[in-house]
Structure 1
Amino acid sequence: MTGWEAWLDDEEAGAVMRTVVRQLKLWREAAGLTQAEFGAAIGYGEELVSSVERGRRIPRPEYLDAADDALGAGGKISAMKKDVAEIRYPKTVRDLKKLEAEAVELAAYNNSVIHGLLQTPEYARAVFSARRPPFTADELDQRLSARVARQEIVSETAGRPLFSFVQCESTLRRPLGGRMVMRGQLERLLTVGGLPHVDLQVLPLSHEENPGLAGSFRLLRLRDGTTVGHLEVQHISRVIADPKEVQLLEMRYGAIRAQALSPRESLALIEKVLGET
């Protein structure tokens, strides 16, 4: 169950965990099973069962399915899988995922790394591994799983929201993870950039003007017509709702897009960099 430690300082996750734990314990005790007997019945050790029931370990979906079968719960325990899977991720990730789910249009500029929604798992692992102090193996796996889960929104079948990405050319040439990882990442950009609901642009290093020197940011236009911004720097993740601040970001993004290559020219540049990698 690596990577499924509970976020003990997260009130929302804690409330869900208390409900799940209470139900698991009630069902086990009603069946007259000790933790050791229950663990043997579902294929897990007593120590792990104890960690789950103390709220220190989030039960994986297969754990809940096995518990449902062993306790004859008729799907009542398995029904908790969706809620439990959501709290596996840190609150900042969950909040951002909710915003993305509400968005009808998402725009993002990145000048340090490839945008998270566009990253391959290998590239994302290289980004997380560069962190200092480093993440533990479990923390790295948690963040990688959270990032991959968020990428479902960009899939071809989703078709919503509309996406506009502008990447500084430097992010295409920074060899995070090594040559083969970057080749896979550039190929991923070409694939996503060809989707009908995605505009992918590159801001060339050869341009003298760069309105995005202040750093990466994103804009999300929500279903109710409002727009919010999001900034992430170092260990700080901030959602911006103040209309005046959002307007500044919108003006800045418009200037960045105007300086960037067109989507077709951008894909050609990515192909060129891929050929050089």
Structure 2
Amino acid sequence: MKKNFITLLFLVSAFFLISCSSGSSSSGESTAEKKEEIEDFVEKEFTYPLPTAFEVSQMLGNANTSYSENIVNDPTKVDQYVATWQKAVNLGVYGADLSYAATFDKTQETIDYLDVSKKLIDDLNITSAFNSSMAQRIENNMDNIDSLIFIVTESFYDTYNYLNQNGEEKTSILVVAGSVVEGLHITCELVKMSENRGELMAVLANQKSQVTKLLELMDNFQDDENVKRMLPSLRFISLTYDQLGEGVEMTSGQFDDISNNVKIIRDEIVG
């Protein structure tokens, strides 16, 4: 189960971080070379190959999207999250927002999300991640998206390794849930803002596997009151995804169903 937790969050992180790496990398490597390098890394770290996250992220990067501060969670709200479940799920939210900001070279915003992520990690007593050395490595590589992919992924790996080794599987799954929901939220909002709705709706359709895996993990803790906060809407989203056949375009009605239920869950999470 630990590998599933780690892999799912990696999908979310890599989904946003790599989407514009071809325009931000200072390494001189081609997109194809970098994609192959990251895939090799994933195969070494995880027990099963990464699904189509790279293809999805390339589609997002090619859809003329942009950064919007209006669709992310305000870092100044971090002090509002008092309960453990709020801290955990919003750590996931802020992790996705961090990746989104870094993708579009928003240096100050990325630093802000690093700061609030570290605060929540400290509050949750996750002592093995986001140490001062890792924070310095991140700041030193703010202009190199490819390096950030690896550094942030390493911090997420340490976080999940710590949580699961210390019997905090439910906390771990809440962080994953926050990341997946925020990823869906950002994609839905970009669909609404974009002239390329069809292309971005295809990106949203490709997030079906993340929702499916998340539900599989959450079903193991379906009696937990904090997990149950999100399950009904996530299951409805999954039912909508089940209506999509192979190669079938998402309809406006299906998009509305997913978007509306994502909003319900996210409002519950971020307050």
For the superposition of Structure 1 and Structure 2, which TM-score range results when normalised by the shorter chain? under 0.3
Q: Which has the higher strand share?
A: 1
Larger of the two Rg values belongs to structure: 1
Normalising by the residue count of structure 2, what TM-score does the alignment of the two structures yield?
0.27
